[in-house]
Structure 1
Amino acid sequence: MRQIPQRSAVPTELTWDLTSIYPNDAAFSQALVDIQKLADETAQLKGQLAQSGADLYRVTTAIFSLYRQLEKAEVYASMKNDQDTGNATYQGFDDQVGSLLAKVGTAIAWFEPEVLALTPEDLQALIDAEPKLAAYQHYFDVLSRERPHTLSESEERLLAGAGDVLDASARTFGVLSNADLKFPVVQDEDGNDVRLSEGLYGVLLESVKPAVREQAFKALYSVFQQFRHTFAATLSSEVKKNNYLAHVRHYASAREAAMSANTIPAVVYDTLVKTVNQHLGSLHDYVALRKELLGLPELHMYDLYTPITGEPSLKYTYPEAQQEALKALAVLGPDYVANVQKMFDTRAIDVVENQGKRTGAYSGGMYDTKPYILLNWQDSLESLYTLVHEMGHSMHSHYTRTNQPYQYGDYSIFVAEIASTTNENLLTDYLLKTQKDPKVRAFILNHYLDGFKGTVYRQTQFAEFEDYIHRQADAGQSLTADFMSDFYGKLNARYYGDAVISDPQIADEWTRIPHFYYNYYVYQYATGFAAATTLAGRILSGDPAKRDAYLGYLKAGKSDLPLNVMRQAGVDMTQPDYLETAFKTFDDRLAEFKQLARELKATN
């Protein structure tokens, strides 16, 4: 029986090296002491920033310095915890940082209210009086937008102090989902007993054997359904928190509050949902084609991930995937490729699954560290796409941090998914150009269509669900498991159409989606994928100016508003054009795949 290894059994070269953040755990613990001391000292700066431009600069840089050190500790603790969520020591580290975040927030809760207590004219006069503050002009401009939503110093201190408590539901979900749930033994394609995990689940759903897919699907949900009321309680608490904080800060809704944090107007969200719903027919056509080509009397939700063309013909070991990634991304230029190679060479990637490791994948790190990537590697095309996706995030981080000062050395969540999905689009183009075998090409097209389905359609479906439960809770509706499952089941049926059976288990899918705890994050996957389609086309045009405009987006960080950054890169995300371009690409590739797959089926 395949066993998932303990963390200690994973080869060192396949783990990330966190010693570049802190040389050891003792240094991390000392850093927490130093940060607490610095927080106490910074708290004493209250009341001093309005005395002169020099004082505003001194206080502002002190605040940023504190956050910079705190962010470093937070990254170390979270990544240590993620590599083995069952490790009590690192659970403690993560908890310590969570508490320190709240303490620091409380200690400096006065800063933004004190800045915003100045009139716009007085604030600008202080900035103009100190030349060094010119580097912070955009920061203060963005902060000033929050005047109507910033509370008094005492109120801000209370909210900051409650941060650790308010995040409890998300942490509970994470521990329960990643560390405490025990999944049953199932059979793989070869009839071997394997212990089911979230990582292995995705692989088994791609099996060409319906019985393997069905068994994995039902086994996974049998575990989540045992705890559906607990998950309802954690998700309901998260929604209530978001609604509460939105109203306290005088926003009309949690959605408005979340989008305001990235200065994204509601039209972007509404245009996405409206346009996707207008194109549900394309998804229904694809689902119906899947049923036809698989030759199944009934198409179930667990049949939506297996390659329609049969046994996956493209599999990659991790070293092979590295080389393919370098080739696919070469169109972005030699400097980009060199930085990707550096990621491979410096143990910046935690590669394989181990017991207790956080599921899924992400790119991490902060301004003073190299970018890191967490994977749960399987020798599959999907893992290659995941590697390229997360590398897009990491290169975005690298270019931003090496071209911007700390205050702008991060990027808005809204634009974060664009760099990653642009890489995915470039990989698809590379594979279609280099793979001439009709069966392989059909497999790649199938993968692209599935990726579009899972990102544009599925994430918009998630966004609709997230917005619905927030609005319902705000209106006084109790978010019970039955209530959420009833809506989710109907929503899922509307998205996928009549060709697929909405298995009863799928109504409880919300129980296992961690992004519902990310406060209106999911819609940005869909907008990001669609924008990436346009940007990838511009890069592949061969016009160096268009490639450079894209690299300019990677370098911009928070030096401008997100929508302005994207306009400079070549995409206006307030208009539906970029979405229509994405759906045209989907429809064109669906038509190509349909013809190719039917020809292959006829010759077999």
Structure 2
Amino acid sequence: MENKILKREEVATELTWRLEDIYEDEKLWDEDVKTLSAKTDEFKSFEGKVSASAKNLLDALKLYEEIELLLSRIYGYAHMREDQDTGNSKYQSMKSKAFSAYVQAEEKRSFFNTELLAISDENLSSFYNEEKELENYRVTITEIRRLKDHILDAKTEQLLASAGEICGAPQQARGMLCNADLKFPSVKDSKGETVQLSNERFVPTQMSKDRALRETAFEAFYGRYEEFKNTWAALYDGEVKTRIFNSKARKYNSSFEAAVDSNNVSPLVCDSLFASIHDNMDKMHRYVTLRKKLLGVEELHMYDVYVSMIADYDMEVSYEEAKEISLKALDPLGEDYLAIVKEAYENRWIDVLENEGKRGGAYSSGVYGVHPYMLLNYTSTLDDVFTLVHEMGHSMHTWYSEHAHSVLDSSYKIFVAEVASTTNEVLLYHYMKDHAKSKEEKAFIINHFLESFKSTMFRQTMFEEFERKTCEMAENGEALTAEALSNVYYDLNKQYFGADMVSDDKIRWEWCRIPHFYYNFYVYQYATSFAAAVAIADKILKEGDSAVAQYKEFLKSGCTQDPVSLLKIAGVDLTTREPIDAALKVFGEAIDEMMILAS
């Protein structure tokens, strides 16, 4: 493992994203911020007039769409500039300015939903007849009117919009503490060599064959988080109280109900996930038992979770090799799909390597009218190859959706956001397993697939249970202290990993480092999406062109239907437990296959 973390200016240009595709000159960004302010002022002039005529409604929606386009470019550029170097004060300021512009735009547009709701069904029908262009905005109009019971009077909507910047403060502060301010100690491996820890380097240390390094890094890493335990608790408490405030203001029974309703999904989908996972917890415990056996340890600890169960085998995959593998794995999706993937590789849509101050993890971010971008922190592991195709899946979903629809109709709901990314991962798994050059390599790849199941189906559901439980605690008036939060997390960890895992005390602070706990009940959708992706990939590999055509229709659908209905286009019905149970059956079968290979 390279110990030196590059400075931003030391990273080769071809391995950085070309944000100049959004703004060639940052003066153009400043001009767009001014244009946005003028456009939102113009939009504000429609207040009290939206329902007066079909033309007023159409003109307001056209201007609304122009504002969305500007926001996509302004905020997209600013947040990616800051993410590439979170310690850069210039880009911190730029992102702050962009977020303020977003909040101000929301304030000035806040009256619109209330006035749209004031139009009777009869008058709206006549408006559609008078102004045929209104048909272009039917999806937007229908979605706003769906939430009629939770949209408030204009003054209250404006007040809630004004609070947006304050509501985002816990997440922003948590990001600054974690990515820019928090510094980690160096630790020694079993040979006495020094390894510098960071958020990005923690998981690679936990994947190391050096168990002494894994244990030392685990204790030091989470020990550092524990030092700030009361700060983490206060930040998370602020996040939860923000959700409760907004859900109560909008007349929901709970913050969870408010979150899933914004995606037009029933809470029963998540409840069904919980039921399936709990009924299949024996498979997770079998996996833990298998891991303990294959690692040959008397006690299995939490610092043994990431290391490959295949002790004498490893894979190092360069970024260039990863690109070649990805193109072969995604070949079943067709030449048109591959052509766009190649464009992403050739035209710098991707920021590849870790550098000092760079945001951790990985993501895909769309900028309407430009193209999607991807942030990686590539370190040449097998996991990095899967991350590459995962984020490419997000980007392809965005590309297909944006090329099929307007900025308003292209924004697919978060509930389906992980389907395309995970479908890519499953296709990659099958390709790499089928083309493994040895029994050991095949076992190593199955090990990764089992890890994906563990991390996505089980771990993300565990995360969701933590969010649900802690938000319910706060809704019931219980204090979210560091001790209370760590106890909830620790108990869930023991339940999910079972008797063959030693739940080390420091694992109770793992919740502090999970950014997704600030994403308002996002994580359960990883699990439902994973189940959907297993089904979709299976159809593509077995049925070929017909299944690919169905899948691409799903990719092109944006937000034109509710998410569960969109998945039915691709042949998956999440109104039942069947996709979840079927995916968990595949997990059990992969465990059986690994047992045979490792025997």
TM range, smaller chain: over 0.9
Contact 1:435 1:441 in 2 (8 A): yes
- Confirm or deny: 8 A CA contact 2:82 2:95 kept in the other structure: yes
Say if 1:3 and 1:194, in contact at 8 Å, map to a contact too: no
Q: Which amino acid in 1 is paired with 2:556?
A: K
Offset of residue 436 of structure 1: 4.1
**Shift of residue 190 of structure 1?**
6.3
Deviations 1:200-234 (A, max 9, x none): 11111111121111111111111111111100000
Distance in 1 (CA, whole Å) between partners of 2:189 and 2:322 is 23
Output the CA distance in 2 between the equivalents of 1:167 and 1:405.
27
In 2, the alpha carbon distance for the partners of 1:470 and 1:374 equals: 31
Pairing of 1:275-314 with structure 2 (within 5 A): 275-314=276-315
Contact 2:394 2:421 in 1 (8 A): yes
Tell me which moved more, 30-39 or 236-245.
Answer: 30-39
Residue in 1 aligned with 2:170? 169
The answer as to whether partners of 2:199 and 2:360 remain within 8 angstroms in 1 is: yes
Given that residues 332 and 544 in structure 2 are in contact (C-alpha distance below 8 angstroms), is that contact kept between their aligned partners in structure 1? no
CA displacement 1:120-174 (0-9 Å, x = unmatched): 2222321232111112222211111111000110000011111001110110000
What amino acid is aligned across from residue 130 of structure 1 in structure 2? E
1:201 matched to 2:187? The reply is no
Instruction: Supply the distance in 2 between the matched residues of 1:188 and 1:332 (Cα, whole angstroms).
Output: 44
Deviation, structure 1 residue 188: 5.1
Give 1:519-598 correspondences, 5 Å limit.
519-598=520-599
**For residue 238 of structure 2, what is the aligned residue in structure 1?**
237
| Code of the aligned partner of 1:214 | E
- d(CA) in 2 for partners of 1:339 and 1:410? 19
Answer yes or no: is the 8 Å Cα contact 1:115–1:123 preserved in 2. no
1:217-366 matches, within 5 Å, as 217-366=218-367
1:90 aligns with 2:88: no
Letter in 2 for 1:267: L
Query: Distance between the aligned counterparts of 2:146 and 2:312, measured in 1?
Result: 54
Distance in 2, matches of 1:310 and 1:501, equals 20
Question: Does the Cα contact within 8 Å between 2:11 and 2:355 map onto a contact in 1?
Answer: yes
Query: Given the superposition, is the C-alpha separation of residues 188 and 119 from structure 1 closer, same or farther in structure 2, using an over 3 Å criterion?
Result: farther
The 2-side partners of 1:122 and 1:502 are apart by 62
Greater mean alpha carbon deviation, residues 101-110 or residues 119-128: 119-128
Q: CA deviation at 1:51?
A: 2.5
Distance 1:321 1:312 in 2: 18
DSSP-derived class of the 1:359 partner: coil
Alpha carbons 2:313, 2:440 under 8 Å: kept: no
- In the TM superposition, residue 366 of structure 1 has moved relative to its aligned partner by 2.0
Q: What are the superposed Cα offsets for residues 237-284 of structure 1, whole Å, 9 maximum, x if unpaired?
A: 100100110010001111111101110011101000110011110010
Q: Distance in 2 between matches of 1:190 and 1:148?
A: 64
Q: CA deviation digits over 1:348-376, x for unaligned, max 9? A: 10000000000000001221221100000
| Counterpart residue type for residue 231 of structure 1 | W
- After the TM superposition, which segments of 4 or more aligned residues of structure 1 sit over 3 Å from their partners? 187-192
- Give the Cα separation in 2 of the matches to 1:131 and 1:475: 50
Structure 1: runs of 5 or more not aligned: 599-604
* Length-normalised TM-score, structure 2: 0.98
Q: Residues 85-142 of structure 1, C-alpha deviation per residue, up to 9 Å, x if partnerless?
A: 0000000011111111111111111111110111222223212321111122222111
Q: CA deviation at 1:67?
A: 2.0
- 2:15 maps to a residue whose letter is L
For 1:52-131, list aligned pairs within 5 A: 52-131=53-132
CA contact (8 A) 1:7 1:84 kept: yes
The answer to whether the 8 A contact 1:549-1:569 is kept is: yes
Distance 2:578 2:313 in 1: 34
Asked if structure 2 preserves the Cα contact closer than 8 Å seen for 1:272 and 1:579, the reply is yes
Cα RMSD (Å) of the superposition?
1.1
Q: In 2, distance between residues paired with 1:188 and 1:18?
A: 39
1:369 aligns with 2:370: yes
TM-superposed deviation, 1:311? 4.3
Name the stretch that deviates more: 186-195 or 48-57. Answer: 186-195
Could you tell me how far apart the structure 1 residues matched to 2:522 and 2:563 are?
15
Residue 393 in structure 1 maps to residue 394 in structure 2: yes
TM-score, with structure 1 as normaliser: 0.97
In structure 2, C-alpha distance between the alignment counterparts of 1:322 and 1:149, rounded to whole Å: 46
Cα distance in 1 for partners of 2:586, 2:306 equals 20
Q: How many Å separate the matches in 2 of 1:12 and 1:277?
A: 48
Offset at residue 56 of structure 1 (A):
1.2
Partner of 1:601 in structure 2? none
Report deviation, 1:81.
Answer: 0.5
Matches for 1:119-158 after TM superposition, within 5 Å: 119-158=120-159
AA paired with 2:303?
A: Y
Tell me the equivalent position of 2:495.
494
* Equivalent position amino acid for 1:538 in 2: K
- What is the alpha-carbon distance in structure 2 between the residues aligned to residue 309 and residue 461 of structure 1? 26
Contact 1:205–1:303 (CA under 8 A) maintained in structure 2: yes
Contact 1:188/1:204, CA 8 A, preserved across alignment? no
Q: Distance in 1 between matches of 2:542 and 2:139?
A: 33
Letter in structure 1 aligned against 2:486: S
Q: Match for residue 214 of structure 1?
A: 215
Q: Could you say which residue in structure 1 is the equivalent of 2:435?
A: 434
Question: Using the alignment, how far apart are the partners of 2:403 and 2:222 within structure 1?
Answer: 44
Q: How many residues align?
A: 598
